[in-house]
Chains A and B, each alone.
Chain A
Amino acid sequence: MDSFFSFSIKYLPYLLEGTVVTVEVAALSIVIGSILGIVIGIGRVSQIKVISQSCRFYIWLVRGTPLLLQLFIVHFALPAVNPILTFPPFVSAVIAFSINSAAYIAEIARGTIQSIDTGQNEAARSLGFSRKEAMWLIIFPQAFRRMLPPLGNECIALIKESSLVSTIALYDLLRTGQQVISSTYRYMEIFTMVAIIYLVLTTVMSFIVGTIERKVSLYE
Chain B
Amino acid sequence: MTDEIQLQFPILQFKGVFKSFGENHVIRGLDLNVDKGEVVVLIGSSGAGKTTLLRCANLLVPIDRGEIIYSGSPVIHVNEGNSNQLTTKELNQYRTEIGFVFQHFNLFPHISVRKNITLALERIKKMDSNAAKEKALDLLSWVGLKGKSDNFPSQLSGGQKQRVAIVRALAMEPTVMLFDEPTSALDPETVGDVLDVMMKLAKKGMTMLIATHEMEFAREVADRIIFMDKGVIVEQGTPQEILNRPKEDRTREFLSRVLPKHHSLGENSED
CB of B124 within 8 A of CB of A127, answer yes
Q: What A residues does B169 contact at CB under 8 A?
A: 126-127
The answer to whether B152 has its CB under 8 Å from any CB of chain A is yes
| A127–B154 CB distance below 8 A | no
Distance in angstroms between the alpha carbons of A120 and B168 in the assembled complex: 13
List residues of chain B with CB within 8 A of the CB of A138: 108
Q: A119: nearest residue on chain B (CB-CB)?
A: B106
A2 sits at the interface (CB 8 A): no
Q: How far is the CA of A145 from the CA of B152 in the complex (A)?
A: 15
Residues 35-49 of chain A, each 1 if its beta carbon lies under 8 Å from chain B, else 0: 000000000000000
B interface residue count range (under 10 / 10 to 19 / 20 to 34 / 35 or more): 20 to 34
Q: Check A137 against B95 for contact (C-beta < 8 Å).
A: no
B95 touches A142 (CB 8 A): no
The answer to whether B152 and A123 touch across the interface, beta carbons within 8 angstroms, is: no
- A128–B109 contact, CB under 8 A? no
**How extensive is the interface on chain A, given as a class?**
20 to 34
Dominant SS at the B interface?
Answer: mixed
A145 with B110: in contact, given A122-B60, A127-B169, A130-B88 (CB under 8 Å)?
Answer: yes
Q: Are A128 and B124 in contact, CB atoms less than 8 angstroms apart?
A: yes
> Any chain B CB within 8 A of the CB of A76?
no
Q: Is the CB of B109 within 8 A of A219?
A: yes
Instruction: Flag the segment in B16-24, B72-80, B96-104, B213-221 that touches A.
Output: B96-104
Apart from A123-B107, A127-B168, A145-B110, what are 12 other A-B pairs with CB-CB below 8 Å? A122-B60, A122-B102, A123-B165, A127-B95, A127-B96, A127-B120, A128-B120, A129-B123, A129-B124, A130-B92, A138-B108, A219-B109
Chain A interface residues toward B at CB < 8 A: 117, 119-120, 122-130, 133, 137-138, 141-142, 145, 219-220
Q: Which residues of B contact A (CB under 8 A)?
A: 58, 60, 88, 92-93, 95-96, 98-100, 102, 104, 106-110, 119-120, 123-124, 152, 154, 165, 168-169, 172
5 A-B residue pairs with CB within 8 Å: A125-B60, A127-B172, A128-B172, A142-B108, A142-B109
